[in-house]
Structure 1
Amino acid sequence: MITNVKNKREYLSKIASYLLELGIPANKTVSKDELSSVDKVDEVRAGTSNLVNLPAEKFKVDFSEKDDIRFGSYIQGLYDTNNEQVYLWTSKTNICGLYKVGSIKDVNFSFPFGLNDEGIIVFLSADLKDKLLLDFSIDPNGNKVVEVEAQGLNWPNVKY
């Protein structure tokens, strides 16, 4: 429950766009009833503090490559090593709450470049053992790219 007036105002100003933002990678219409409390966000964030010490693997590809078969095979590999449900996390999650999808392979990775203003979306396994961060931007040559970082116990072992 949101008690602080400033936080409530921020929540009300962001919730509609957040639900639309989540709906694209979730591949469905998301309602606010499906979101966790902000207290749960804080709890999950605290539970991820161990991830920073775990292995990480990064690679960068053209943004359009996330729609290709090779990226799909990579996602299948992530699923094969950890098939837990995943939280979708963006900057608005901190104010509006967490949303959980079935697994990493249930995510629609064909989202547009302008999905959110920050150009970042994180997929966190519900068991808090693995994280996939997608950071999309425009490189110095004007190309749309996505940097992919897998961190945790399982996902860094999957090679692209």
Structure 2
Amino acid sequence: MRFAPAAAALSLALALTASVSWSADRAPAPHAAALLAQGDAALRHGDVQGAIDAYESALAIDPGYAPVLLKLAEAARKDGLQGKAIGYYREALDRDPRNFAAIAGEGEALVERGALEKARGNLAKLESLCGQSCPETAALTAAIAAGPKPRILTADATMPESKSPQAN
């Protein structure tokens, strides 16, 4: 009888761990699903921060639903936060190492950061898992071929002052 509370706690912990690891096969919680739809609509309308807020709220409501991580990563990439997007993709890959969308998305974010060799590693992994005919492999191949986008200076960016020698 002394071990009953400990056994119950251990059973609960194992049940929660199991439910988190197999979350891709289930639907999100109803309120989280509504927030995901709200985030999708915000992203379509160009409100990236609104989408991120909705996706983060959905993740807080249903932390075991891994596909929301892919949506957060997509929104972070659109906001120019490739490092944050890579973190979300890696968290999704921790939950499911064979998630083709996460592997491809991480590779595309790596290309956007200029890390082409690491992106090629993701491409090799995708090719070994799903072959060259899967859409994720094709998307990552195209992103690598296009290369990183050049960074554009805005009118607000200032150039460093040049030091010219003064004539004496």
Higher normalized helix content (fraction of residues): 2
| TM-score normalised per structure 1 | 0.25
| TM-score normalised per structure 2 | 0.24
